Structure 1
Amino acid sequence: MRIAFNASILRAPRTGIGQYLVELVLALAMDSEFEAWLFNGWGWQNRLPAAALPGYSRWSALVKRGLPNAYALRRMVEQRRFSQKAARADLYHEPSLWPLEFDGPMVMTLHDLTHVHYPHTQPADRLAAIERYAARGVERAQRIMVDSRFIGDELCHHYGVPAERVVVAPLGCAARFHPRSPERLAGRLAALGLQPGRYLLCVGTLEPRKNLQLALRAHARLPAAMRERYPLVLIGMPGWRTEQLEGPMRRAMAGGQVRLLGYQDDDCLAELYAGAHLLLFPSLYEGFGLPVLEAMASGTPVILSRSSALPEVAGGAALYIDPQDDVGCAAAIGALIEDRAQWAALRDAGLVRAQDFSWARCARITAAVYREILGH
Structure 2
Amino acid sequence: MQIALNARILQAPRTGIGHYLAELVSALRHEPDLELSLFHGWGWSSSLPAAAMPGYSRLTPLLRQIPGAYQARRWLEQRRFDRGRSAAIDLYHEPSLWPLAFKGPTVITLHDLTHLHYPSTQPAARLREIERRLGQGVQQARLILTDSQFVADEAQRYFGLGPERFVVAPLGAAARFHPRSNESLQQVLQSHGVQPQGYFLCVGTLEPRKNLALVLRAHAELPQALRQRFPLLVVGMAGWKGEQLADELHTALASGHVRLLGYLPDEQVAHLMAGARGLIFPSIYEGFGLPVLEAMASGTPVILTRRSAMPEVAGTAGNYIEPEDLHGLCEVMIRLINDQAHWQVCREAGLQQAKLFSWERCARVTARAYCRALEG
- TM-score, normalised by the number of residues in structure 2: 0.96
Matched with 2:109 is 109
Give the aligned partner of residue 218 of structure 2.
218
Query: Measured at CA, do residues 3 and 316 of structure 1 come closer, stay the same or move farther in structure 2, by a change above 3 Å?
Result: same
Is the contact between residue 10 and residue 53 of structure 1 (CA under 8 Å) also seen in structure 2?
no
- Return the offset for 1:70: 2.5
Post-superposition offset of 1:323: 1.1
Cα deviation for residue 88 of structure 1 reads 3.5
**Structure 2 equivalent of residue 50 of structure 1:** 50
Deviations 1:7-55 (A, max 9, x none): 1110221121011111111111002411111101111101112333996
Q: Is 1:74 matched with 2:92? A: no
Deviation at 1:71, TM superposition (A): 2.2
* AA at the equivalent of 1:223: P
Structure 1: distance between partners of 2:224 and 2:55: 41
Q: In the alignment, which residue of structure 1 is the partner of 2:132? A: 132
Establish whether residue 167 from structure 1 lines up as the match of residue 150 from structure 2. no
User: How many angstroms apart in 2 are the aligned matches of 1:284 and 1:64?
Assistant: 25
Tell me the amino acid that sits aligned with residue 119 of structure 1: P
| Structure 1 residue 243 displacement after superposition | 2.0
Please give the secondary structure, in 1, of the residue aligned with 2:316.
Answer: coil
Matches within 5 A, 1:288-299: 288-299=288-299
What letter is aligned with 1:16?
Answer: G
Between 1:168-177 and 1:233-242, the stretch displaced more is 233-242
Distance change in 2, residues 1:205/1:94 (3 Å):
same
Worse overlay, 349-358 or 184-193: 184-193
Number of aligned residue pairs: give it.
375
Per the TM alignment, residue 172 of structure 1 is displaced from its structure 2 partner at its CA by 0.6
Counterpart residue number, 2:183? 183
**Structure 1, 161-170 or 68-77: larger mean CA deviation:** 68-77
Identify unmatched segments of 5+ residues in structure 2. none
Q: How does 1:207-356 map to 2 (within 5 A)?
A: 207-356=207-356
In structure 2, relative to structure 1, the CA distance for the partners of 1:308 and 1:50 (3 Å cut) is: same
Q: Provide the rounded CA distance (Å) in 2 between the counterparts of 1:301 and 1:274.
A: 10
2:150 alignment partner AA: F
Check conservation: 1:43, 1:82, Cα contact below 8 A. Answer: yes
**Contact map agreement 2:98 2:108 (CA 8 A) in 1:** no
Cα distance in 2 for residues equivalent to 1:340 and 1:234? 24
Q: Quick one: distance in 1 between partners of 2:39 and 2:53?
A: 12
Q: 1:87–1:102: 8 Å Cα contact kept in structure 2?
A: no
Equivalent residue letter for 1:127: L
TM-score after normalising by structure 1 = 0.96
Q: Which residue of 2 aligns with 1:83?
A: 82
Q: Which runs of 4+ in 1 moved over 6 A?
A: none
Partner AA of 1:83 in structure 2:
D
Amino acid of the residue matched to residue 81 of structure 2? F
Contact 2:13 2:51 in 1 (8 A): no
Q: In 1, are the aligned partners of 2:282 and 2:305 still within 8 Å (CA)?
A: yes
Choose 366-375 or 226-235, whichever is displaced more.
366-375
Please state how far the C-alpha of 1:64 moved relative to its aligned partner.
6.6
297-306 vs 241-250, which deviates more? 241-250
Q: Distance in 2 between matches of 1:334 and 1:42?
A: 51
Q: Which one-letter code corresponds to 2:172 in the other structure?
A: G
Change (3 A) 1:64 1:245: closer
Q: Does 1:151 align with 2:151?
A: yes
CA contact (8 A) 2:11 2:49 kept: no
Q: Secondary structure at the match of 2:202?
A: strand
Percentage of pairs with the same residue: 59
Deviates more, 1:246-255 or 1:153-162: 246-255
Offset at residue 372 of structure 1 (A): 1.7
Q: CA deviation at 1:68?
A: 4.7
1:305-340, CA deviations, whole angstroms, 9 ceiling, x for partnerless residues? Answer: 111101000000111111111001100110110000
Q: For 1:164, what is the secondary structure of its paired residue?
A: helix
- Say if 1:235 and 1:261, in contact at 8 Å, map to a contact too: yes
d(CA) in 2 for partners of 1:228, 1:192 = 14
* Closer/same/farther in 2, CA of residues 199 and 165 from structure 1, 3 Å limit: same
2: CA distance, partners of 1:55 / 1:81: 24
Q: Give the partner amino acid of 1:219.
A: H
Instruction: Provide the aligned C-alpha RMSD in A.
Output: 1.6
Superposition deviation, residue 105 in structure 1: 0.1
- Residues 281 and 292, structure 1, Cα contact 8 Å, conserved in 2: yes
Distance 1:63 1:257, change over 3 A: closer
Q: Which amino acid aligns with 1:70?
A: A
8 Å Cα contact 2:279/2:302 also seen in 1: yes
Please give the per-residue CA displacement for 1:79-103, whole angstroms capped at 9, x wherever unaligned.
0110121654100000011310000
Deviations 1:176-199 (A, max 9, x none): 100111111111111112211110
Q: Is the 8 A contact 2:70 2:129 kept in 1?
A: no
1:212-246 C-alpha deviation (Å, 9 max, x unpaired):
11111111111110001001111111012222222
